[in-house]
Structure 1
Amino acid sequence: MADVESSDAASVPTFAVTAAVGAIIILIMLVCSVGRGNKNKSEKEESESTEETTSKKNEKTEKQGKKPKSQKPVKRSHSVHFTHPWLACNLKGHSGSVLSLDFSPNGKYLITASDDRTVLVWNTKDFSRKEHKSVRGNVEYDHATRVKFSPDSKAFVCSLANENTVRIFRIGKKDSGGIGNISAAFDFEKKHSADIIYIGIASNGRFIMTCSNDTTLIIWSIKGDVLETIDTRQMNNSFGAVSPCGRFVASSGFTPDVKVWEVGFDKVGGYTGCKRAFELKGHSAGVYSFSFNSDSSRMASVSKDRTWKYWNTDIRYEMNQDPYLLKTGSIDFEFSSPCLIVLSPDGRSVAIASENSVSVHNAITGETEETFSSVFAGEVTDMSFDLTNKYLVCSGDRHVSVFNNITGYRASIDDLQEKLKSSNTQAQKERIKQQISEAQESLEKLLGQSNGHAGGKNE
Structure 2
Amino acid sequence: MELAALVALTALLGALVVLVGLALGRRKEELREEAEQEAELAAEGSAVKGPSAKRPKQEKQRSRKEKAPQHTFSHPLLAASLKGHSGNVTCLDFSSNGKYLASCADDRTVRLWSTKDFLDREHKCLRANVELDDATLVRFSPDSRAFITWLANGDTIRIFKMTKKEDGTLMFKAAPDDFPVRHKAAILNVGIAETGKYIMSASSDTSIHIWDLKGELLASINTNQITNSYAAISPCGRFVASCGFTPDVKVWEVCFGKGGEFKEVARAFDLKGHSAGVHAFAFSNDAHRMVTVSKDGTWKLWNTDVEYKKQQDPYLLRTVPCGSSEGSRVALSPDGRVVAISDGSSVAMYNAANGELEEELHGVHHGKITDLRFDVNGRFLACSGDKAIRVFHNTPGYRAAIRDMEDMLKKAQNEGMKQRLKQQITEAQTALDSVLGSFIE
TM-score (norm 1): 0.79
Do 2:279 and 2:326's aligned partners in 1 also have CA atoms closer than 8 Å?
no
Deviation track 1:167-198 (CA, whole Å, cap 9, x = no partner) reads 11111213354423454443100011112111
1:77–1:437 CA distance, 2 compared to 1 (3 A): farther
TM-superposition CA deviations, 1:320-358 (whole Å, max 9, x none): 111121121111x4x542311110101111110121111
For 1:236-247, list aligned pairs within 5 A: 236-247=227-238
Structure number with bigger Rg: 1
**389, 397, 405: which is aligned to 1:416?**
405
Partner-residue secondary structure (3-state), 1:294: coil
State the shift of 1:424 in Å: 2.6
**Which shifted more, 417-426 or 315-324?**
417-426
Pairwise CA distance, 1:115 = 0.4
Q: CA 1:449/1:110 → structure 2, altered by over 3 Å: closer, same or farther?
A: closer
Cα shift at 1:123:
0.2
Q: For 1:125, what is the secondary structure of its paired residue?
A: helix
* Alignment partner of 1:258 is 2:249: yes
1:327 maps to 2:347: no
CA distance in 1, matches of 2:68, 2:168: 36
Write the deviation string for residues 208-240 of structure 1: whole angstroms up to 9, x where unpaired. Answer: 000100000111001111100000000010000
Aligned equivalents of 1:403 and 1:114: distance in 2? 21
SS in structure 1 of the partner of residue 92 of structure 2: strand
Q: Residue 305 of structure 2 aligns to which amino acid in structure 1?
A: D
CA separation of 1:148/1:420 partners in 2, compared to 1, >3 Å: closer, same or farther? same
What is the correspondence of 1:378-397 to structure 2 with a 5 Å cutoff? 378-397=367-386
Determine if contact 1:210/1:219 at 8 Å carries over to the other structure. yes
Distance 1:91 1:241 in 2: 25
Post-superposition Cα deviations, 1:233-272, rounded to whole Å, max 9, x if no partner, equal 0001000000000100000001111100011011111001
1:277 aligns to 2:254 (yes or no): no
> 1:349 maps to which residue?
338
- In the other structure, the counterpart of 1:398 is 387
What aligned pairs does 1:146-295 form with structure 2 within 5 A after superposition? 146-295=137-286
What is the aligned-residue RMSD (CA, Å)? 1.7
Alignment of 1:433 with 2:440, yes or no, is no
The match for 2:121 among 105, 119, 130 is 130
Question: Is the 8 Å Cα contact of residues 349 and 362 (structure 1) preserved in structure 2?
Answer: yes
Contact 2:327 2:370 in 1 (8 A): no
Following superposition, the deviation at residue 291 of structure 1 comes to: 0.2
Alpha-carbon distance in structure 2 between the residues aligned to 1:267 and 1:301: 33
Is 1:117 matched with 2:108? yes
The one-letter code sitting in structure 2 at the alignment partner of 1:375 is V
Partner-residue secondary structure (3-state), 1:295: coil
Q: Is the 8 A contact 1:79 1:376 kept in 2?
A: no
Q: CA deviation at 1:305?
A: 0.2
Change (3 A) 1:185 1:411: farther
Q: Could you say what secondary structure the match of 2:177 adopts?
A: strand
Counterpart for residue 360 of structure 1 = 349
Tell me, in whole angstroms, the C-alpha distance in 2 between the residues paired with 1:297 and 1:119. Answer: 32
Stretches of structure 2 that go unaligned for 5 or more consecutive residues are 1-59
Q: Which piece of structure 1 moves more, 424-433 or 228-237?
A: 424-433
Partner of 1:326, secondary structure, is: strand
Change in 2 beyond 3 A, CA 1:430/1:268: farther
Q: CA deviation at 1:449?
A: 4.3
Q: SS state of the match for residue 186, structure 1? A: coil
Give the 3 Å change call, closer, same or farther, for CA 182–427 of structure 1 in structure 2: farther
Kindly provide the amino acid, as one letter, of the partner of residue 333 in structure 2.
S
The aligned residue for residue 437 of structure 2 is: 448
Identity percentage of aligned residues: 52
TM-score (norm 2): 0.83
> Partner residue of 1:302?
293
Aligned length: 378
SS of 1:128's equivalent in the other structure is coil
The residue type equivalent to 2:105 in the other structure is: S
1:85 is paired with a residue whose SS is coil
Corresponding residue for 1:19? none
CA contact (8 A) 2:295 2:325 kept: no
SS at structure 2 position matched to 1:238: strand
Aligned-pair distance for 1:443? 1.3
Write the letter of the residue equivalent to 1:293.
Answer: S
Q: Distance in 2 between matches of 1:185 and 1:379?
A: 35
* Residue 370 in structure 1 maps to residue 370 in structure 2: no
CA deviation after TM superposition for structure 1 residue 83, in Å: 1.1
SS at match of 1:413: helix
Aligned-partner Cα distance in 2 for 1:195–1:434? 54
Instruction: In structure 1, give the amino acid aligned to 2:228.
Output: N
Distance 2:292 2:190 in 1: 18
2:53 aligned residue:
none
Q: Which residue of 2 aligns with 1:314?
A: 305
Contact 1:311 1:326 in 2 (8 A): yes
SS in 2 for 1:296: coil
Please give the alpha-carbon distance, in whole angstroms, between the structure 2 residues aligned to 1:428 and 1:206: 44
Q: Which amino acid aligns with 2:69?
A: H
Q: For the residues of structure 2 that align with 1:100 and 1:80, how far apart are their CA atoms?
A: 19
Match for 1:250: what amino acid? A
